[in-house]
Each structure stands twice: as C-alpha cells, then as structure tokens.
C-alpha cells in the first residue's frame, strides 16, 4: 500500500526552503503524496466555534518532545500560537510540485467555501497542467465561524456552498465552454483553460467524518480522507460509506480512502484498516522533524525503513 506524509506548511515548517527540501526527501523516501493544511487566517480564540478534531486520529497521540520545533496544543484547536506562519495551500502545492516530479501533492483539507470556485478551478487546473496531473484537492466545509466572518462567507450555508462548488469545479474542468446555474454561482459559456492534466479533473477527496461529509463523498467526490476513525470502527463506517455510494448510483470501488495515521501506528492496525477498506495512508507527523538538512534527511531515511517499506509490503 501507499503512504503519504503531512509535515509541511505550519510554523517552522512553513518556509519555502523546508517545503522544497522535505518534498524532495519525501519523494526519495517513497512517500506517495505530500499534504498541506489550510487556514486563511487564525484567531487567538474561537468562542463561536467548536474544533471538531480534538479527538485526533482515533489512535493514541504520540508523545511530543518538549523541544520539538512545532508544539501542538491539546484543547480546542491544535495550534498554540495564532501568530504562527500557516502557508496558503494552493501556493504551497505549486511550490512543492515545482520541486518534485512524481509525488502527488494534495490539500488536507482546503476549506472549500472560503474560496471562489472559478478562481480556484483555474488555479488548480493551472497547477495540475504544470505538474502533469499530480494534484489532489482535499476539501472540508470548515468549522471556524470566525474564519468565515473574516473572509465574508456565510457560515450557515457552508455545506450547500461546498456541494455546489464541487459541481462548479467539475464543470469548469470538464466542459469546453462551461455553463452553470446554481443557488450561489452562475455563469454561461465561459472558457476556462488550461484544463487539468488528469482526465476528469483534479480528484476531489473529502475530509471529515460527519454524515454530511460522507454523503458528499458518496454523491459527488473521488474519495475520502478520514481522520478520526478508530480502527475498531473502520470496517462498519466504510461499509456504510460504500452503501451510500452505491445508493447514489456510483461505484464504491473507485473511491480512494486515505486514512490519516500517526507514526506510532502498528502494522497490525494498518492491516486492519486495509481490510476495512482503506486504500492508502497519510502519515501525520508530530512537529519533531529537524529543520536542518542532515537531520531532516536522516528522519526521512528512518521513515523509509520503518514505515514506507513495510506499508509497501502490505
């Protein structure tokens, strides 16, 4: 099986230099994809919102060294300091793609309703054309009302906007002259070129474990990016997702299901995820990658032995 990596884009890992070097190291180590997070703005507190990922991946959180370059919090939002660098995912993906040749580059997850679908369609099509079809769009509907207020998007409509945007993106990526009539977006005979290199457009994978997110996968998307899905629940939840996909008249076999795991995951757990229907993994690292060249290279060499190779043999 394949495993990707989440390690760049935040704090000391948000520099162009780190992103470039770590993407190259990940590609050399055999990681299949490299994932970038998204928060357009951050706030010191989120009184109007509830952080939905406080439970993490469903695994026990790995211990974090107090000297790790990036410290995660443990309460409402995983970042301790709002004045931390948080790279834009679309620009970061372009930077990563320019530094590599085979690895897939994805967002996990880009908060879709905070962007404009026509601008985003053009941006991702440009990127996918530049990198010969290595782009993945992981999307979420967002959870932080404060972010939506700052960007000027109605938080209460984020689910509907997300669903409509997914259809807009696919129209612009597939149609020669694109037309769309929706509740939020309307256009007629618009030409949007370049098209993505990948036939059918950039794959859209959905983050989140809510029923709404799973419906979105089943009805509209190319895969799922589950995070908080404990291994003992995986089989039943994935079979439910497959059932929903069949019910939507689509083939569940073609879904990519890419589970976020920590590096403390045992091979036995990964096998159980595989048997439950997970098709690939995404290693979320722990803020402890050394920034300097030699240390970073050593870390990726270690992962090549301890993770990438054993998972490839699964």
Binding site for another protein (CB under 8 A): 14-16, 19-20, 40-44, 82-88, 90-92, 94-95, 98-99, 114-116, 118-119, 122-123, 125-127, 129-132, 149-152, 172, 176-178, 184-194
Distance (Å, rounded) from C-alpha 92 to C-alpha 107? 9
Residue 280 three-state SS = strand
Between residues 61 and 193, which has the closer beta carbon with respect to another protein?
A: 193
Distance (Å, rounded) from C-alpha 139 to C-alpha 221? 10
| Rounded least distance, CB 222 to another protein, Å | 21
Q: Which residues contact 68 (CB under 8 A, 6 or more apart)?
A: 286, 287, 288
| Rounded least distance, CB 117 to another protein, Å | 9
Between residues 14 and 204, which has the closer beta carbon with respect to another protein?
A: 14
DSSP state of 84: S
| Rounded least distance, CB 124 to another protein, Å | 8
Distance (Å, rounded) from C-alpha 253 to C-alpha 260? 20
| Rounded least distance, CB 191 to another protein, Å | 4
| Rounded least distance, CB 189 to another protein, Å | 7
| Rounded least distance, CB 113 to another protein, Å | 11
Between residues 36 and 261, which has the closer beta carbon with respect to another protein?
A: 36
Contact present, 142 and 156 (Cβ < 8 Å): no
With vertex at residue 308, the alpha carbon angle to CA 89 and CA 6, rounded to the nearest 5 degrees, is 20
Distance (Å, rounded) from C-alpha 182 to C-alpha 161? 10
Contact present, 261 and 57 (Cβ < 8 Å): yes
DSSP state of 63: P
Radius of gyration of the chain (CA): 19
| Rounded least distance, CB 4 to another protein, Å | 21
Q: Hey, which residues does 261 pair with through a beta bridge?
A: 283
Q: What is the dihedral of CA 90, 2, 140, 178, to 10 degrees?
A: 60
Q: Quick one: CA dihedral 6, 263, 23, 28, positive or negative?
A: negative
Between residues 49 and 94, which has the closer beta carbon with respect to another protein?
A: 94
Between residues 198 and 256, which has the closer beta carbon with respect to another protein?
A: 198
Between residues 41 and 267, which has the closer beta carbon with respect to another protein?
A: 41
Between residues 43 and 53, which has the closer beta carbon with respect to another protein?
A: 43
């Amino acid at each position: 099986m394949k495993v990707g990596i989440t390690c760049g884009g935040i704090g000391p890992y948000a520099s162009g230099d780190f992103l470039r070097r770590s993407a190259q190291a990940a590609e050399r180590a055999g990681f299949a994809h490299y994932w970038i997070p998204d928060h357009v703005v951050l706030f010191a507190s989120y009184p109007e919102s509830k952080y939905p990922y406080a439970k993490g991946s469903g695994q026990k959180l790995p211990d974090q060294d107090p000297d790790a370059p990036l410290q995660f919090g443990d309460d409402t939002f995983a970042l301790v300091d709002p004045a931390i660098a948080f790279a834009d995912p679309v620009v970061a993906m372009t930077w990563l793609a320019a530094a590599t040749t085979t690895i897939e580059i994805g967002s996990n997850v880009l908060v879709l309703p905070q962007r404009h679908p026509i601008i985003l369609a053009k941006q991702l099509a440009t990127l996918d054309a530049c990198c010969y079809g290595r782009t993945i769009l992981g999307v979420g509907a967002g959870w932080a009302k404060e972010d939506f207020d700052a960007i000027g998007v109605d938080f209460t409509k984020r689910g509907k906007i997300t669903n409509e945007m997914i259809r807009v993106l696919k129209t612009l990526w597939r149609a020669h002259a694109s037309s769309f009539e929706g509740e939020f977006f309307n256009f007629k005979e618009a030409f949007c070129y370049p098209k993505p290199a990948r036939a059918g457009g950039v794959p859209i994978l959905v983050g989140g474990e809510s029923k709404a997110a799973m419906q979105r996968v089943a009805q509209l998307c190319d895969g799922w990016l589950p995070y908080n899905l404990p291994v003992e629940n995986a089989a039943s939840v994935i079979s439910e997702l497959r059932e929903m996909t069949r019910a939507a008249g689509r083939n569940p076999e073609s879904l990519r299901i890419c589970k976020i795991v920590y590096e403390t995951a045992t091979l036995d757990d990964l096998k159980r995820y595989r048997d439950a229907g997970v098709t690939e993994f995404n290693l979320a690292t722990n803020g402890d990658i050394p920034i300097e060249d030699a240390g970073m290279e050593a870390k990726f060499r270690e992962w090549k032995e301890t993770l990438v190779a054993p998972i490839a043999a699964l």
